[in-house]
Structure 1
Amino acid sequence: MAEIVINNLRKEFGDFTAVQSSSFKIEDGEFFMLLGPSGCGKTTTLRMIAGLELPTSGEIYIDGEEVGRRPASERDIAFVFQMFALYPHMNVRRNISYPLVSQGMPRAEVRAKVAEVARILGIEGILDRPVGGLSGGDRQRVALGRAIVRSPKAFMMDEPLGALDAEFREHMAEELRALHDRMGATTVYVTHDQLEAMQMGDKIVVMNHGVIEQFGRPQDIYDKPATMFVADFIGSPSMNFLKFHGSVEAGATSVRMGDHAFGIPEMREPFDGDMVFGVRPEHIHLSDAGDFRGEVLAAEYLGTTQIVTVKTAGGRIKARVGSDRRVRMGDHVGIGFDAARVTLFDSQSGRALRSDLNEGVLAHG
């Protein structure tokens, strides 16, 4: 397995820049997620690491060697695609063994490796079946087996679960993460699904318009969003945003929005201008008291919790509260925020203003 280091990676297609000066490191054995909306540059980044695209500039190190200009065949990388890319005229056994046979490996060794991979993936019973009649989940296991059997330095996975239905995708995500933990493989995984990234990844890079918005552990990205884009993209429902104009001093622990003062984490730097007060739904509480109030517009019951939409003077907000909290449309409720979990943003740049909460956030532009 291998450490992968990306330095100032850039990819241009004519006048269009798909990836802009990206830098990050993937530790040996990490399950690393490239996350973002369609067209953000995540698949292009993956293809450059794998050698399927050559970078316009920048460096790619795999296991300490610079490979940015080497073809894919010289990088010892295995690729798993969304649409499986299996050979339809071959059965399962021949699909899995094909990379080894093409390398001229002795037949006995090929049989042993295929048997081992089939055992790991739980597909021993379908080795002699044609791939055309398999379910989507079994075909994805075969595609994984063909990648695993080579014992490459790293695995590249481009939305490998995207073609599966929602329920089975969740099951396969658990299996894939468990497989990774057993093998200790370095894995780079592309997805647009933030829940999948949070569930599976050791580290996440969040991309938007070819730029890395934030890089870090899932919990840090959720708790300490570096930009409004990250705060909005990660989480369901996403973070609430209340816009206002004001000023905060270095060391301030509260901020005024209109006639109301709200607690915030201690600010590291002063700021004056247009700001955004950001808070996640679970860090909002509703009460019968309080001078900051709003009108209940809707309540979405989710079992143990409910999402309550409230219209306030600063805009609509969504609060995640216990299902035992009785609310009805038209109710007027008091609204409070968990001061320690609030994030302030510069409205113009979208960047988080420095505080105890976001101190140390890894973000690259």
Structure 2
Amino acid sequence: MAQIRIENVRKDFGAFTAVQSSSFTIEDGEFFMLLGPSGCGKTTTLRMMAGLELPTRGEIYIDGEEVGQKPASQRDIAFVFQMFALYPHMNVRGNISYPLKSQGMKSADIKNKVGEVAEILGITNILDRPVGGLSGGDRQRVALGRAIVRDPKAFFMDEPLGALDAEFREHMAEELRALHDRMGATTVYVTHDQLEAMQMGDKIVVMNHGVVEQFGVPQDIYDWPATRFVAEFIGSPPMNFLEFEGMIGTGGTEVRLNDVPMEVPQSREGANGKLTFGVRPEHVGFDDDAPYRGRVTATEYLGTTQIVTFDTPNGLLKARVPSHEVVTNGQLIGLRFDPRTITLFDKQHGKALRSQGNEGVLGHG
């Protein structure tokens, strides 16, 4: 398997820039997620890594070799598409063995290799069946088998579970992650589903409008979003944003929200004017003595927890609290925030102001 390194890669389609100067490194054996909304540039980035698109500029390294201008056939990678892309006139065995036949491998070796892959994927019982009558899950396993059988340096997957229903997608996501762990393969996976990315990925790149907004492990991206876009895109419900006019100096640790002093993590840079106070719903607590208050406008029961929506002086706010907390519509409740969990954003640029030195693992239970 291989390390993959992207350095200042850009892709233009005429006057439209799909990817803007992206740089990141995928370590050998990582399950790496390219995450973002439709049109953000994630699939274009994947296709450039695979050699299906050539970058306008920048370098792409696979296993230390610069391959940016080489076609896919010279990169020793395997690509798994969303729509399976199987050969309908072949049975399962024929689909999986096709790449090996194309390489001129001996029939006996092909049979052994296909058998090994089928055993890994749990599809030995359907090897002689036509692919047309298979379920979506089995067809996806066949597509994976065709990729695995070649022992490539890296696997590239473009929303491979997108065509499956929600319940089966979750099951297949677990299978894919388990398969990755068994094989230790370098895997790059494109998705627009933030839950899928958080569930499966070792590292995540979050993209928006062709720009890498943040790159890191799932926990850090959730707890310490670098931009307001990341904070809003990751999490369900997303982070709360309370708008206010104020200031904080470089190294400052307090702001005033509706004239109520609020302790915040040390700011890496000062800001003055329109700011945004960000807090995740699970980091909002109730406190009768808290001076900052909100009025209940709605509740959503989720079993062990409930989502309570408040109208506050700075905008709507959602709190995820235990379901045994009794609240009623119209009730005025004091709200408290753990200062370690707050992220301040410069509203104009959407950049987080918090200091790296205050970051740590808070969890998102």
| Residue number in structure 2 paired with 1:8 | 8
Letter paired with 1:312: T
| Residue number in structure 2 paired with 1:155 | 155
Pairwise CA distance, 1:267: 2.3
Pairwise CA distance, 1:73: 0.3
| Residue number in structure 1 paired with 2:123 | 123
| Residue number in structure 1 paired with 2:103 | 103
Percent identical among aligned pairs is 74
> Which deviates more, 241-250 or 213-222?
241-250
| Residue number in structure 2 paired with 1:226 | 226
1:241 aligns with 2:241: yes
User: Partners of 1:285 and 1:334 in 2: how far apart?
Assistant: 8
Taking structure 2 as the reference length, the TM-score comes to 0.97
Contact 1:343 1:357 in 2 (8 A): no
User: Between Structure 1 and Structure 2, how many residues are aligned?
Assistant: 360
User: Partners of 2:64 and 2:206 in 1: how far apart?
Assistant: 25
Pairwise CA distance, 1:271: 2.2
> Which deviates more, 104-113 or 260-269?
260-269
> C-alpha offsets along residues 113-170 of structure 1, whole Å, 9 cap, x if unaligned?
0000000000000000000111000000000000000000000000000011111100
Gaps of 5+ in 2: 361-365
Contact 2:284 2:320 in 1 (8 A): yes
Pairwise CA distance, 1:266: 2.0
- 1:1-365 equivalences under 5 Å are 1-356=1-356
> Which deviates more, 269-278 or 177-186?
269-278
User: Partners of 2:358 and 2:13 in 1: how far apart?
Assistant: 35
Letter paired with 2:322: G
Letter paired with 2:148: I
User: Partners of 2:163 and 2:308 in 1: how far apart?
Assistant: 33
Contact 2:266 2:358 in 1 (8 A): no
> C-alpha offsets along residues 286-342 of structure 1, whole Å, 9 cap, x if unaligned?
233322111111111111111100001110000000011011111111111111100
Contact 1:137 1:164 in 2 (8 A): yes
| Residue number in structure 2 paired with 1:363 | none
User: Partners of 2:271 and 2:303 in 1: how far apart?
Assistant: 41
Pairwise CA distance, 1:356: 4.7
User: Partners of 1:125 and 1:223 in 2: how far apart?
Assistant: 45
User: Partners of 1:191 and 1:337 in 2: how far apart?
Assistant: 32
User: Partners of 2:88 and 2:339 in 1: how far apart?
Assistant: 58
Contact 1:340 1:357 in 2 (8 A): no
User: Partners of 1:357 and 1:316 in 2: how far apart?
Assistant: 30
SS at 1:187's partner residue?
strand
User: Partners of 2:70 and 2:266 in 1: how far apart?
Assistant: 49
> C-alpha offsets along residues 238-263 of structure 1, whole Å, 9 cap, x if unaligned?
00001111111233322112321111
User: Partners of 1:62 and 1:189 in 2: how far apart?
Assistant: 16
User: Partners of 2:164 and 2:32 in 1: how far apart?
Assistant: 21
